[in-house]
Amino acid sequence: MAFTKMNFFHWHITDAQSWPLEIPALPELSAKGAYTPDQVYSPEELAAVMQYGNNLGIETAIEIDMPGHTSSIWFSHPELITAFNAQPYSTYCAEPPCGSLKLNHSAVYSFLDTMFSDLFPRISEYSSYFDSGGDEVNVNAYLLDDTVKSNDTAILQPLMQTFIDHVHGKIRAAG
């Protein structure tokens, strides 16, 4: 990348299929959500990749897509996820396995606060960017969400706005 003057690496580090990022405050995420125990990024490996990029003039932005593409969280925190592995997948998500964070569950916010409090201080010295995703949310997943039970955008829009405001508030507060 450095030789071709590419100076920004957008790292979509987690996804629906696997959670390979170790979060020391939530060790169960990668322990249960990664493909295998040896396919994870430790805090030291994450820092090393980001530092290596910085040494070459490449800034790394970590992306943890949410509220969609989060079905890998189900393996450690099923109470936070709606529509896990719902079928047919094209009805509930863009790619299998389906699973989205619940929009109206207070435990989701506690989980995110714990994750961000652990992660942001560790990555902020290497990058001033963090991507929270937010794309490819399928409203039908929220028909199966026991805290929402609707795919009506008039109901979902304020819940999604509250979610985004909370997440982006945490990102801004971390600098």
CATH number, span 2-173:
3.20.20.80
Beta-bridged to residue 60, according to DSSP, are 9
Q: How far apart are CA 76 and CA 87, in angstroms?
A: 21
pLDDT (tens digit, 9 = 90+) per residue, 90-112? 999 999 999 999 999 999 999 99
Residue spans of the domains in the chain: they are: 2-173
For residue 55, what are its two tokens?
A: 């040494």
Q: How far apart are CA 91 and CA 163, in angstroms?
A: 23
pLDDT (tens digit, 9 = 90+) per residue, 25-70? 999 999 999 999 999 999 999 999 999 999 999 999 999 999 999 9
Q: Which residues are catalytic?
A: 136
- pLDDT bucket at 3, cuts 50 / 70 / 90: confident
